[in-house]
Amino acid sequence: MPVTAVSSASSQRIVGDVWPLVVEVVDLDGTSAGVTPTVTVTLPDGSQASPAPTVESSGWRCYTATYALTVPGRHIAAVTATGVGRADFAVQAVEATPAGRMPQLQDASSYLGAHSYTDDDIQSALDAETDAQRAVCLIPAYYPADLRDALLRRVKRNLAMRRLPLAVQQADAEAGSSTVLPPWDTEVSRLEKPHRRLLIA
pLDDT tens, position by position, for the chain (201 residues)? 588 999 999 999 999 999 999 999 988 776 776 789 999 999 999 999 999 999 999 878 899 999 999 999 999 999 999 888 899 999 999 999 999 999 999 999 999 999 999 999 999 999 999 999 999 999 999 999 999 999 999 999 999 888 776 555 555 545 555 555 666 889 999 999 999 998 765
Q: What is the pLDDT of residue 161?
A: 87
Enumerate residues 6+ apart whose C-beta is below 8 A from 11.
19, 90, 91, 92
Tally of CA atoms within 13 A in the half-sphere of 54 that contains its CB? 1
The ranges of the chain annotated as CATH 2.60.40.10 are 3-94
Q: What is the pLDDT of residue 142?
A: 95
Cα–Cα distance for residue pair 156/109, rounded to 1 Å:
9
Q: What is the pLDDT of residue 1?
A: 57
Torsion of CA 182, 184, 190, 192, to 10 degrees: 180
Cα–Cα distance for residue pair 116/131, rounded to 1 Å:
24
Q: What is the pLDDT of residue 33?
A: 63
- Describe the crossing of helices 145-162 and 119-136 by its angle, rounded to 10 degrees: 130
DSSP state of 83: T
Cα–Cα distance for residue pair 80/35, rounded to 1 Å:
10
Q: Which CATH number fits domain 3-94: 2.40.160.20, 1.10.760.10, 2.60.40.10, 3.40.50.300?
A: 2.60.40.10
